[in-house]
Structure 1
Amino acid sequence: MPETIVLLDMTTPQRADRLRELLPEGFVLTHGTARGDEHMKEIIAEADYAIAGQVPVSGDVLRAGKKLKLLHKWGVGYDNIDIDTARELGIKVARTTGSNALPVAEFTLGLMLSSLRFIAYGHEELKKGHWATGKLPGDTYMLSGKTVGVVGFGAIGKNVARLLKGFGCTILYSKRTPLSAAEEAELGVRHATMAEILSQADVVSLHCPLTPETTNLIDAAAFKAMKKTAVLVNCARGGVVNEADLVDALRAREIAGAAMDVYAVEPLPPESELLTLDNLVVTPHLAAMAADNFAPTVKRMFANMQHVSRGEPVPPLDLVV
């Protein structure tokens, strides 16, 4: 009998077909067609393996997976998964460590440039028929030569630093355990405290995981500590930024602008105040999506499932619990 993999996220038939083209022999794939726990409980019930991208996977959903051997995160951050319940039920959890580092880093630079230069604003205004050259919401700034503070310096943060080298930026980074002097020299970066990053950076770029320590890390006090000409970029997790405080800071022009790809609630509700701001760039959690990164990541997830199917351990790099 074939083993069943279920993608808990909703997807298009075309994308599902692309996934099936990469399936190893002996596996079949199904996927979500609606949002919410009740639907996920239905589709996970007979699954041997599950994949979760952006959807939250609660303990109730995991308990409905009576045959579930492995839940695989499509990506890296697993704060949307009830890890304690998975551990209690003996369900393995894995991720594709580092798989999206370069796509997210490239997207981050795109958001930096868009925010500093009002690219998204100019695009939207021109599509409305408005030539907005003299009516931008604020001053525009180059990225070249600026000080960039990278908060969280794992695979994504390091790739951001590498890409910024060509812009001649001064790069400060925040990390619980600083790099060695040799690593810092190779990347051209300097360790700094959060206070130093907030006060010195022209761009504050977030790449830390969402934990109790980082929840609301960037709040009203942080915005007051930043330069008035600075911009904030968040490609980490929505909960790292206090969104109400961000709205207040952008309206009061306490900082020049911001760009967000992630939100405390996803999908972002259409009534969100974030959508009313002219100095904020918003994108719908796109940073990790790149067609040329699709097959390598999917093959890696399927390979981890094959390990479990054969009674082998998941490679330590990818194993969460």
Structure 2
Amino acid sequence: MKVLVATEKPFAAAAVNGIKAEVEGAGHQLVLLEKYTEKQQLLDAVADVEAMIVRSDKVTAEVLDAAKALKIVVRAGAGFDNVDIAYAKEKNVVVENTPGQNSNAVAELVFGLLVYAVRNFYNGKSGSELLGKKLGILAFGNVGRNVARIAKGFGMDVYAYDAFCPKDVIEAAGVKAVDSQDALFENCDVVSLHIPATPETKQSINAALVGKMKKGGILVNTARKEVINEPELLKLLEERTDLKYVSDIMPDAHEEFCKFEGRYFATPKKMGAQTAEANINAGIAAAKQINAFFADGCTKFQVNK
């Protein structure tokens, strides 16, 4: 089988070496397309491959149509909104992600952003501490659980809401489960977002919800920019001069948010999974999942069933 690694932003060399060892060790052929600059390069590269590993690369209907032999795409990371999963299903192409591999990296970044925010973006003025503050985690998946673990080290009081995770599972992790998103925002000093971008969640983080936060509330977004209702959040930040918003995803309305100096920060590029360890873990996990798929049809991490 021919396995394509298509990465406009390449994996670390150690990750590529690990992927190569896994793929070739299973008797498959590895093809690399790194730092490509034109869509046509990707369309040409997918023409005769049976499997594909991507990072944030767009796997559109056009790409899927060009990949006549494709059977599986693995997105090295948790999010998979860069892949047209519905069309892939129509084409009988399995789409998988690699949940958990980037989780600690994203969770650590949450606290990098959060410490920066509570210390007033290091502007020399007196800030506040995280000890004793209430942290709300929206979605208690792999990242959310790591956020909870780290928050306990800071001495924070940790709450979580997840419509798909039972309360007893949340509470078994030493976290207080709440009954709704509204309750999370009402009760917590900080809310950290870990929801995927789905039709149900897109623009769901709006003024009505964020406006429930206590005075001095901080919203942290290391999920997806699409979950934020940007016009409403902009208006709310105008009205609530006590609120802060920090993110590793630059909003579409970044320039408008920049007027809230001292209350807004976003990294130039998405940074959550940008660690050497996460890069290696996700890449090698993707290769192992492809090998398992071809060996015995394993689709444990399929996201387009």
TM-score interval for Structure 1 and Structure 2 normalised by the shorter chain = 0.7 to 0.9
Q: Is the alpha carbon distance of 1:264 and 1:179 closer, same or farther for their aligned partners in structure 2, counting shifts above 3 Å? A: same
Aligned match for 1:88, one of 79, 90, 103? 90
Percent identity, aligned pairs only, is 27
CA–CA distance in 1 between the matches of 2:173 and 2:71? 41
Give the drift of 1:143.
1.1
Answer whether contact 1:94 1:314 (CA < 8 A) is retained: no
Alignment gaps of 5+ in structure 2: none
From the superposition, tell whether residues 72 and 272 of structure 1 become closer, same or farther in structure 2 (CA, over 3 Å). Answer: farther
Corresponding residue of 1:125:
none
Query: Structure 1 residues 43, 244: closer, same or farther in 2, change over 3 A?
Result: farther
Distance 1:254 1:199, change over 3 A: farther
Which residue matches 2:210? 223
Contact 1:228 / 1:255 at 8 angstroms: preserved in 2? yes
Once the two structures are superposed, the pairs formed by residues 164-175 of structure 1 within 5 Å of their partners are 164-175=151-162
Distance 2:241 2:160 in 1: 23
Query: One-letter code of the match for 2:101?
Result: S
Aligned to 1:288: 273
Aligned to 2:297: 313
Residues 1:223 and 1:181: Cα distance change in structure 2 (over 3 Å): closer
Q: Distance in 2 between matches of 1:228 and 1:36?
A: 48
Distance 1:145 1:154, change over 3 A: same
Given that residues 167 and 177 in structure 2 are in contact (C-alpha distance below 8 angstroms), is that contact kept between their aligned partners in structure 1? Answer: no
In structure 1, C-alpha distance between the alignment counterparts of 2:131 and 2:70, rounded to whole Å = 50
Distance change in 2, residues 1:173/1:207 (3 Å): same
| Residue 147 of structure 1: aligned partner | 134
1:243/1:43 Cα in 2 relative to 1: closer, same or farther (>3 Å)? Answer: farther
Paired residue total: 296
Q: Tell me if 1:74 matches 2:76.
A: yes
Structure-1 separation of matches of 2:192 and 2:152: 15
TM-score scaled by structure 1?
0.83
Partner of 1:21: 17
Match of 2:211, SS state, is: helix
1:315 CA displacement:
4.5
1:133 to 110, 124, 130: 124
Distance across 2 between alignment mates of 1:107 and 1:114:
11
Instruction: Confirm or deny: 8 A CA contact 2:188 2:214 kept in the other structure.
Output: yes
Q: Offset at 1:264?
A: 6.0
> Offset at 1:156?
1.1
- In the alignment, the residues of structure 2 paired with residue 17 and residue 64 of structure 1 have an alpha-carbon distance, to the nearest angstrom, of 28
Displacement of 1:239 in angstroms is 0.9
Aligned pair partner of 2:288 in 285, 292, 303: 303
Tell me, in whole angstroms, the C-alpha distance in 1 between the residues paired with 2:154 and 2:103: 19
Q: Is the 8 A contact 1:148 1:204 kept in 2?
A: yes
Check the 8 A contact 2:61/2:84 in 1, yes or no: yes
1:191 pairs with 178, 184, 205, which one?
178
Tell me which moved more, 301-310 or 233-242: 301-310
Superposed displacement of residue 169, structure 1: 1.9
TM-score under structure 2 normalisation?
Answer: 0.86
Match of 2:257 in 1: 274
| Structure with the larger RCO, 1 or 2 (CA within 8 Å, 6+ apart) | 2
Q: Is contact 1:4–1:48 with CA below 8 Å preserved after alignment?
A: yes
**CA contact under 8 A between 2:74 and 2:286: conserved in structure 1?**
yes
Secondary structure of the equivalent of 1:304? helix
Amino acid at match of 2:292: H
Q: CA RMSD in A?
A: 2.5
Residue by residue over 1:152-199, the C-alpha shift from the partner in whole angstroms, topping out at 9 and shown as x without a partner, is: 111111111111112222222111145344750442323232111222
Q: Secondary structure at the match of 1:258?
A: strand
Supply the distance in 2 between the matched residues of 1:240 and 1:73 (Cα, whole angstroms): 20
Does 1:233 pair with 2:220?
yes
Kindly state the Cα deviation for residue 223 of structure 1 after the two structures are TM-superposed.
Answer: 3.0
CA distance in 2, matches of 1:183, 1:224: 25
SS in 2 for 1:56: coil
For 1:53, give the aligned amino acid: R
- Once the two structures are TM-superposed, the CA of residue 255 in structure 1 deviates from its matched residue by 4.3
Q: Partner residue of 1:10?
A: 8
Equivalent pair of 1:20/1:29 in contact (CA under 8 Å): no
| 8 Å contact from structure 1 (residues 172, 190) kept in 2 | yes
Pick closer, same or farther for the CA change 1:183–1:47 going to 2, 3 Å: same
In the alignment, is the contact (CA less than 8 A) between 1:161 and 1:189 conserved in 2? Answer: no
